[in-house]
């Protein structure tokens, strides 16, 4: 019993640490990408970022497959017959359309606003989990979700409620639209991670999504990659490997360990890191409204952490633990 309790505690700690690391890495995306989208095509940038992510994870995946003998007939058949359609769907939603909308929106808004609006992913992930996967929340969970939504509303309207929502900055609409797709995509990934290894999913999702978007950008829109400068390449590599690839990897680990609700709520801390990055790298000013939004979101996360402490035994029950131990990496 002590060993089981120790393993459960370790699993929860790993889940929270992974979610926090994912938030830190994802929080840097807007500030690192903002100077590039000012001059580069946002669709081209999005495709290159995901291609970099896929290329970085490819040697890691196959080295692990080779070292641990993962390339068995069972895994190959499972991927081709049961999981491929879901992998393609999550690649198109989460690694093609959503990032394209996000980077296009970033081009027409500030890094600070995009970082905070990206927390819409938290709200929509929870809503879809409740609607389609029948996940239930305790009262604290609903209050926490409402607080995150309130924070999003604060930054979206800038507390100017006399203006119509339709008069909001166009870039903010695209960023918010991307979070809706990412919210649905997170729930799809939740299914896939019980059937295949997380590191493999990150590789396939990045390669498929990046390839589709790159092909569309080059051959349909006739955008040339030569518009990028040599100074922007290191930033693209950083975005792909850390901001997108590594953050997705750690987020999926967290989702398997502590569940989708707690993972996405902690991921919303990326707004805090986003504010810091935007202030340090881009010298953007932080307004009182943005500080209020962050405080409200952190308050919601605190509430959900209280619920987690009260119900940790149920979160790490036997059935979820079985999948987590098998599909961690």
pLDDT in the model for residue 322:
43
Q: Do 258 and 320 form a contact (C-beta atoms < 8 A)? A: no
* Structural domain boundaries in the chain: 20-313
Distance between CA atoms of residues 193 and 186, nearest Å = 10
pLDDT in the model for residue 166:
44
In this structure, which long-range contacts are made by residues 135-143, counting pairs with CB atoms below 8 Å and at least 24 apart in sequence? 135/259, 135/260, 135/261, 137/261, 138/307, 138/311, 140/303, 140/304, 140/306, 140/307, 141/261, 141/303, 141/304, 141/307, 143/300, 143/303
Query: Is pLDDT of 201 > 90?
Result: yes
Higher pLDDT, 91 or 259: 91
Q: Do 175 and 117 form a contact (C-beta atoms < 8 A)? A: yes
pLDDT in the model for residue 238:
93
pLDDT in the model for residue 180:
92
Q: Do 28 and 277 form a contact (C-beta atoms < 8 A)? A: yes
How much is the pTM?
0.78
pLDDT in the model for residue 184:
92
pLDDT tens, 42-83? 888 889 999 999 999 999 988 877 766 544 444 444 565 677
Q: Do 112 and 293 form a contact (C-beta atoms < 8 A)? A: no
Distance between CA atoms of residues 186 and 93, nearest Å = 10
Higher pLDDT, 315 or 187: 187
Q: CA dist 263 to 72, 116, 268, Å?
A: 31, 17, 9
Higher pLDDT, 82 or 281: 281
**What mean pLDDT is predicted for residues 197-218?**
93
Distance between CA atoms of residues 196 and 260, nearest Å = 17
Work out the mean pLDDT of the chain and round it to a whole number. Answer: 78
Higher pLDDT, 206 or 148: 206
């Amino acid at each position: 019993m002590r060993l089981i309790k120790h393993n459960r505690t370790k699993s929860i700690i790993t889940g929270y640490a992974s979610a926090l690391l994912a938030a830190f890495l994802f929080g840097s995306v807007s500030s690192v990408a903002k100077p590039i989208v000012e001059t580069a095509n946002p669709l081209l940038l999005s495709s290159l970022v995901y291609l970099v992510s896929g290329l970085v994870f490819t040697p890691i995946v196959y080295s692990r497959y080779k070292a641990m003998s993962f390339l068995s007939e069972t895994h190959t058949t499972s991927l081709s017959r049961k999981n491929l359609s879901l992998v393609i769907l999550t690649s198109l939603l989460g690694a093609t359309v959503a990032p394209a909308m996000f980077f296009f929106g970033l081009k027409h808004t500030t890094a600070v606003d995009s970082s905070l609006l990206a927390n819409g992913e938290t709200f929509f992930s929870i809503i879809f989990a409740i609607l389609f996967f029948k996940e239930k929340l305790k009262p604290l969970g609903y209050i926490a979700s409402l607080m995150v939504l309130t924070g999003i509303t604060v930054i979206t309207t800038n507390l100017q409620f006399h203006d119509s929502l339709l008069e909001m900055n166009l870039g903010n609409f695209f960023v918010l639209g991307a979070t809706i797709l990412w919210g649905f995509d997170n729930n799809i990934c939740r299914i896939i991670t019980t059937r295949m290894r997380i590191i493999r999913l990150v590789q396939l999702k990045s390669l498929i999504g990046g390839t589709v978007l790159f092909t569309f950008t080059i051959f349909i829109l006739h955008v040339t990659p030569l518009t990028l400068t040599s100074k922007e390449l290191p930033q693209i590599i950083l975005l792909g490997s850390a901001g997108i690839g590594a953050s997705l990897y750690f987020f999926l680990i967290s989702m398997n360990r502590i569940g989708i609700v707690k993972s996405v709520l902690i991921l919303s801390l990326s707004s805090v890191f986003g504010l810091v990055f935007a202030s340090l790298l881009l010298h953007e000013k932080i307004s009182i409204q943005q500080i209020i939004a962050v405080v409200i979101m952190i308050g919601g996360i605190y509430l959900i952490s209280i619920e987690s402490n009260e119900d940790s035994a149920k979160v790490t029950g036997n059935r979820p633990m079985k999948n987590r131990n098998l599909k961690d990496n």
